[in-house]
Amino acid sequence: MSITFLSHPIHLPDFFKFDREYLGKQESQNEDQKVFHKDTLEVSQLSKNREILMDKIKHTVVQSAASLSDMRAGILKEIREEKGQYGYSDVVNACGLSYARLYSEIEQRYENEQYYKVDGTPLTKEDEIEWLDIQFEQEVAWQKSCARITAQGQVIQGNIPEMPTEEMEELEDSFYQAKDAYMKLYRENRRAERPLVLQSYIFGNSQMYQILDRLGNLQERVV
């Protein structure tokens, strides 16, 4: 092979011949390596993104509007299976215990973890406690409404002379007293590492429960 240098042809030995095919292969291999490296990075990033997504799914909390009422219903079911029936005092205690148990679950979740809403935005412990408070308020309003409707039915049927208005208001106060009492018990039990279980607290006066339980019994007989 010959090349020209300063207008003079120069002959090179065979081992100086440029192997264009070899250079082409090297260039092609280099491109393949670049593509492989790029694909590897993309796969690695996709794997990382998948791990992040799976972790978010694992730590996503669906804020149910029925979690407190469902827990209350489960507690009352256990009472009925054990005693054969339950009264308004049991309902009040079950609501207080349900609030405290759900509160404890929230606190346990946020000890070392971050959780998210369904839309992917961060969810805080304060958000969940606020939602729990709303659930409790709705539960109390629902229980009071059920008692009032039952009482109205008994008044219409002539079974009782008038609406027990005072007892209705006292019933509402009893739910919030139960909430405070079970939260106090939860904090005490947490320090002592004891489980949180149902108590036989009496909030308000016993006459209120007698009147409300009598309404419930009358309603069951009518139905």
pLDDT band at 188 (very low <50, low <70, confident <90, very high): very high
- pLDDT, tens digit (0-9, with 9 covering 90-100), for 4-41: 545 555 555 554 454 555 555 666 666 666 655 666 66
Q: What does the pLDDT average to over 119-129?
A: 85
In this predicted structure, which of 22-31, 63-72, 195-204 has the lowest mean pLDDT?
A: 22-31
Higher pLDDT, 17 or 96: 96
- Residue ranges per structural domain of the chain: 21-58, 65-222
Q: If DSSP codes are grouped into helix, strand and coil, which group holds residue 203?
A: coil
Q: At what angle do helices 67-83 and 125-156 cross, to 10 degrees?
A: 60
pLDDT at 187: 95
Spatial neighbors of 113 by CB under 8 A, at least 6 apart, are: 59
Amino acid of residue 23: L
Instruction: Return the closest-CA partner of residue 200 out of 168, 178, 169.
Output: 178
Alpha carbon distances (Å) from 210 to 30, 44, 83: 89, 68, 17
13-51 burial: b if 16+ Cβ within 10 Å, else e? eeeeeeeeeeeeeeeeeeeeeeeeeeeeeeeeeeeeeee
* 3 membership: H or E segment, kind and range: strand 2-5
Is the pLDDT at 57 greater than 90, yes or no?
A: no
* 116 membership: H or E segment, kind and range: strand 115-116
Residues, the chain: 223
Cα–Cα distance measured from residue 115 to residue 61, given in angstroms and rounded to the nearest whole number:
7
pLDDT at 183: 98
Question: What integer best gives the mean pLDDT of the chain?
Answer: 78
pLDDT at 164: 85
Cα–Cα distance measured from residue 218 to residue 151, given in angstroms and rounded to the nearest whole number:
10
pLDDT band at 60 (very low <50, low <70, confident <90, very high): low
pLDDT band at 165 (very low <50, low <70, confident <90, very high): confident
pLDDT at 56: 44
pLDDT at 154: 84
pLDDT at 103: 96
Amino acid of residue 216: G
pLDDT at 197: 95
pLDDT at 53: 45
Higher pLDDT, 151 or 46: 151
pLDDT at 15: 47
pLDDT at 208: 86
Alpha carbon distances (Å) from 171 to 27, 40, 136, 199: 85, 66, 14, 18
Is the pLDDT at 115 greater than 90, yes or no?
A: no
pLDDT band at 98 (very low <50, low <70, confident <90, very high): very high
Cα–Cα distance measured from residue 4 to residue 76, given in angstroms and rounded to the nearest whole number:
102
Is the pLDDT at 43 greater than 70, yes or no?
A: no
